[in-house]
Amino acid sequence: MSVSCGVECVFVLGFARWMWKRCTHVGSDDSATWPAATAEEFDAVPRVCRLILAVYETDLHNPQFPPAGGYKLNPDWVVKRVAYEQTLGRAPPYLIYTDHDKKEIVLAIRGLNLAKESDYKLLLDNRLGRQMFDGGFVHHGLLKSALWLLNQEGDTLRRLWEENGRQYSMVFAGHSLGSGVAALLALVVVNHRDKLGGIPRNKVRCHAVAPARCMSLNLAVKYADVINSVILQDDFLPRTPTPLEDIFKSIFCLPCLLFLVCLRDTFIPEERKLRDPRRLYAPGRMYHIVERRFCRCGRYPPEVRTAIPVDGRFEHIVLSCNATSDHAIIWIERESQKAVQLMKESSPGTIITAPKVQKFERLKTIEKEHKDALDRAVSLNIPHAVATSEDESHEDEREPSHAKREDASETKQKSSGNSANWDQLVEKLFKKSESGDLTLNKDAAASKE
């Protein structure tokens, strides 16, 4: 009798401890040890959010739902707008914008539309371990959508970059569903830069706002110098290891699903999670906007923390009434704009330190953080993780071949057109079934292209 009572007490105490840890875990805990971001590196986020919001408008000259302060863009610089009627369900709507002030070519992709069946089909086109790319696993449907989009717009992006003197940056941005497509767009472009005129890696950027978990951990860390993920406080999507297709199957009972996932993952050891190569994560460097604190009411002035986490990478669901509202692009735009203003007002570097020196020092710090994250991934035995020295040697090996092919490809593509090159890439990554549908080769890897 006494033994059974003891076991029961241990069980009750263990469950009470678990409930206390889960109920007191808040979004700010995920980035409690991260350093603060600078205004210079985060300044692009509000601008990118406004461009994503602009995709929702039908007429930017007469916008119906502008954010506070307006979109702050020149409608005449919009190169192309594509709606659902043109994508035929292959990708979410998007726009291409040439920002001559910031010297950027931006491809912005909107988020999930709950009323569109095609968006659900895109999410459902996946299962864990189905698709490999560049030595890791990625979401099958999102990769397929990214390749279709590049096949449609690769010629336009290349032309814009060359017409602007090969000086502009290429920026891919997306929210929610669009963030996964944008991240995999950047992944493909970085591995096939010669197909966009030989654009340098340091001129390719991706901003994944409220990002979907779309790539394995080794890829998320490897491309942290290219991809930035922006997360507002308690957002559920970057934290939910459940496959996207299961999340949106249960969209109308999401709190129940999140609680069950939270309960299940509590009893999975961290080592087991890290060893699973199929497990998908939010991509790149993380920027976490924190505006609420434990046991305190209301919103506080937002602060932005940044890091390239390897272990503990937004693994814990936050049981919060704001878990879904923090996913909204309009809130992210609003809070990121406030955060940038506060950082600019409180930054002592604008007075004491010369801007160029400050920027140089921050770039050095970011580069060191990326190298440390790569080494940390190797030390934790993350599947397919690459050490810093190996990654640099592979990059050096690829760079000369791109340089050698650039002049020859320019001459060849003047006659054949750039779209043919993307068709060749699609043929390598896809195979046609007997019915004529395109299916991805399971063993396709960008490193072999």
CA distance 177 to 235: 14
pLDDT tens string for the chain (449 positions)? 577 777 677 666 665 665 556 566 677 888 889 999 999 999 999 999 999 999 999 999 999 989 988 999 999 999 999 999 999 889 999 999 999 999 999 999 999 887 888 888 888 788 777 788 888 999 999 999 999 999 999 999 999 999 999 999 999 999 999 999 999 999 999 998 988 889 999 999 999 999 999 999 999 999 999 999 999 999 988 887 655 555 555 555 556 655 665 555 555 666 666 677 788 899 999 999 999 876 666 678 999 999 999 887 887 777 778 888 999 999 999 999 999 999 998 866 545 555 554 666 777 888 889 998 888 888 888 888 887 666 655 555 445 444 444 443 443 444 344 454 555 665 666 555 554 444 555 554 444 44
* Strand ranges of the sheet holding 215-216, from the earlier edge strand across to the other edge: 131-133, 136-138, 215-216, 280-281
Residue linked to tokens 């814990």 = 316
171 three-class SS: strand
pTM of the model: 0.81
Q: How far apart are the first and last CA of the chain?
A: 67
C-alpha of 337 from chain center: 19
| Whole-Å CA distances, 447 to 186, 395, 397 | 14, 11, 11
- Two tokens, residue 397: 């090996």
